[in-house]
Chains A and B, each alone.
Chain A
Amino acid sequence: MSTRQPILRAEDLHVWFDLPGDSELHAVQGVSFELRPGERMGLVGESGCGKTTTILALMGLLPASASVAGRVHLEGEDILAKGEESVSPHRWKDIAMVFQGAMNAFNPVKTIGSQIAEPMELHGTATGRAARAQVRELLELVGISGERAERYPHEFSGGMRQRAAIALALACEPHVLLADEPTTALDVMVQAQILELLVRLTRDLGLAMILVTHDLPVVAQVCDRAAVMYAGEIVEMGQMTTIYHDPRHPYTRMLFAATPDLLGDEDVLSIPGAPPRLDHEIVGCPFTPRCDSAFAPCPTAHPRRLEVAPGHEALCHLNDHLVAERPA
């Protein structure tokens, strides 16, 4: 494992959304993790578990209806400390993202090239002719011919737009890339190409990346580490190989077991039941109703986060015996 300082560190991150009628939705509930330079981490979980919300919180891009607590350190600096003022100088320059549904991330009435050049000009990394030259280079880098910079989004196929969105994220040479489901809505062949591209880019440019997906096998292919989210919490996190061979949370095990549907509808996970609603407090372990190994403490006590092995943590009562053996 790398001993270098983490480039990105989230500490006890919480996000609440104000809902109409005085209620709140606790979308992210105490997420903490570290990302080291050059590392690829997968953030996995079912729809609605808070992946996008976590990513947007890291970027300081949540809507006004959201309140955030916790700290996010980017290269040692707390970028959420003073709200917009402290994030905006880093956003896109040091930490950039590929949006979920990046297909619509481009304005239909402006050329792709001008939109990729925009962040360069806004952050002053390149202007005018230099910016245009860089745009071409970036497009070539993601496998699009440089001449296509003058084209409009509707003239790009879905896969090309996704590539262009990646080029856009790389515009100011960030050190951290957050990719939110960059391959959803693409066909399998294109998916594989995009994943390969992301691996190549992170390796060649020394980028650290968080890859958000609800497809654990994809993470297994691409990432060094994985964090599994359920109901706003990271329920298991560790090296990819460890998690694969020795999952310590039933949810992780069931995610691996849930193979993609043969009919091609890969969004369907075959874990019975649905995740709990997050707009009221959950007593006990939120996974209890769907868990195949639930026992006495599960419905009443929230499990503790335990390091089950070095660099491998899980949030499940099944691991409680470790505490008895090893006094904390």
Chain B
Amino acid sequence: MQRSDYILKRTLFALLTVFVAITLNFVLFRALPGDAVTGLKCHNCTIQFKNALRKDLGLDKSKWQQYVIYLKDLAHGDMGTTFISHRPVRGELWDPIKKTVAMIGLGTVFSIVFGIFTGVISAWRRGTVLDKVSVWTGLAFYSVPTQWLGLMIVYFVADRIGLPHGGIQSPDYGILGNPGTLDFLKDRIEHMILPALTLGLVLYGDYTLIVRSAMLETLGEDYVLTARAKGMSNWAIVWKHGFRNAMLPVVTLIALSLGFILGGAITIEYVFDYPGIGLAIVDAIDKRDYAFLQGAFLALTLSVILFNFIADLLYFKLDPRVTT
């Protein structure tokens, strides 16, 4: 097996998974009792109106025909129209996804940087007070419920450091004349910091513990003793022989967890009233907005597949043994 084949194989596999995900997304929504129109509630939703709507949406056609239409539309980037606002789902999805990605991006970078840093130090200085403090802090953040941590931050931290409790825009934003790009960014980031911090802390607990244990395992390997015998200093051993090997399992775990975060930040968005994809999904469930939900679920699934793919590529880059 050639190493270059690996990328091809992974890519094909990812594409196949995407196809399966699309199909499942279609099937699951049709497998629910009732259809997109049944649950619709409005004043003038008479039987006639609903039947007309069904015809309009193509729900009177056979499931197979519907599937073909669904695939065709998707291929053109058309994910349908939302029921409530009658706008294209794609655009409606994009806006909250952007906001969520920015927020979790910030939180994730925080957690990866600090998680790896303290995890490595902790393994290197195993058994010291530093290690113990780091492990207990990690465990605490790892086990705390996300929404509780969020609430505590809203109650005890927000006011003290003068950051907004929630939302994404200050009430007085833009009142005094047209704000510039810089003002806009500043306002956005201020609203992002606390939800990102909440997510970052929870992930931090997870990552620092993983990094520490991966690092400890690596430092017990024979080649680490060899490195020491060759005359390498402790820190050089940790860095040159420990770190990269320890990163192999870590990279995969982090990438996998990132895939799920997009949809998993719902509680955080709820606590901070942050209008990301999580809140949009909750809202769409309330309103029985099938089209939007179907689009949202597809987007979340695709993010999991995407990060899996990234994990595969990184693993390939880091580990010369990977060939299949």
What is the interface of chain A, defined by CB distance below 8 A to chain B? 59, 61, 88, 91-93, 96-97, 99, 101, 104-110, 115, 118-119, 122-123, 152, 154, 168, 171
Contact = CB atoms under 8 A, between A and B. Distances in A.
Contact of A92 (B225, B229, B245): B229
Contacts, number: 62
Nearest to B320: A152
A8 B241 CA distance: 31
Closest 6 CB pairs of A and B: A104-B222, A119-B230, A107-B223, A122-B231, A152-B320, A105-B226
A161 to B, nearest CB: 11
Interface string B240-252: 0100110010000
A109 B231 contact: no
Contacts of B320: 108-109, 152, 154
B225 A107 contact: no
Given A99-B226, A108-B319, A109-B321, 5 more contacts: A92-B229, A92-B231, A107-B227, A107-B245, A109-B245
5 contacts: A96-B229, A101-B222, A105-B223, A107-B221, A107-B227
Contacts of A115: 223, 226
Contacts of B193: none
Contacts of A59: 229
B228 A61 contact: yes
B18 interface: no
B40 interface: no
Contacts of A88: 231
B109 interface: no
A106 B319 CA distance: 14
Contacts of A118: 227, 230, 232
A314 to B, nearest CB: 33
Contact of A91 (B231, B241, B245, B319): B231
B57 interface: no
Nearest to B323: A154
A91 B230 CA distance: 7
B231 A105 contact: no
Nearest to A122: B231
Contact of A106 (B223, B228, B244, B248): B223
B318 interface: yes
A287 B211 CA distance: 48
Contacts of A109: 244-245, 248, 318-321
Contacts of B229: 59, 61, 91-92, 96-97, 99
Contacts of B223: 104-108, 115
A115 B225 CA distance: 13
A100 to B, nearest CB: 9
Contacts of B245: 107-109
Contacts of B221: 104, 107
Interface string B215-239: 0000001110111111110000000
Nearest to B231: A122
A269 B221 CA distance: 29
B225 A61 contact: yes
A92 B225 CA distance: 13
Nearest to A95: B229
Contacts of B228: 61
Contacts of A107: 221, 223, 227, 241, 245
B195 to A, nearest CB: 37
A152 B232 contact: no
A88 B248 CA distance: 31
Contacts of B231: 88, 91-93, 119, 122-123
Nearest to B226: A105
Interface in B307-324: 318-321
Contacts of A171: 230
Interface string B96-139: 00000000000000000000000000000000000000000000
Given A99-B222, A105-B223, A152 B230 contact: no
Contact of A152 (B225, B226, B241, B321): B321
A109 B228 CA distance: 17
A119 B226 CA distance: 10
A92 B221 CA distance: 19
Nearest to B218: A107
A106 B229 CA distance: 12
A122 B230 contact: yes
Nearest to A124: B231
Nearest to B232: A122
Contacts of B232: 118, 122
Contacts of A108: 223, 245, 319-321
A187 B203 CA distance: 49
Interface string B186-210: 0000000000000000000000000
Given A152-B320, A152-B321, A154-B321, A105 B222 contact: yes
A105 B227 CA distance: 9
A12 to B, nearest CB: 24
Nearest to B318: A109
Task: Pick from B222, B227, B248 the residue with the most CB of A within 10 Å.
Answer: B222
B321 A92 contact: no
A119 B229 CA distance: 9
Contacts of A154: 320-321
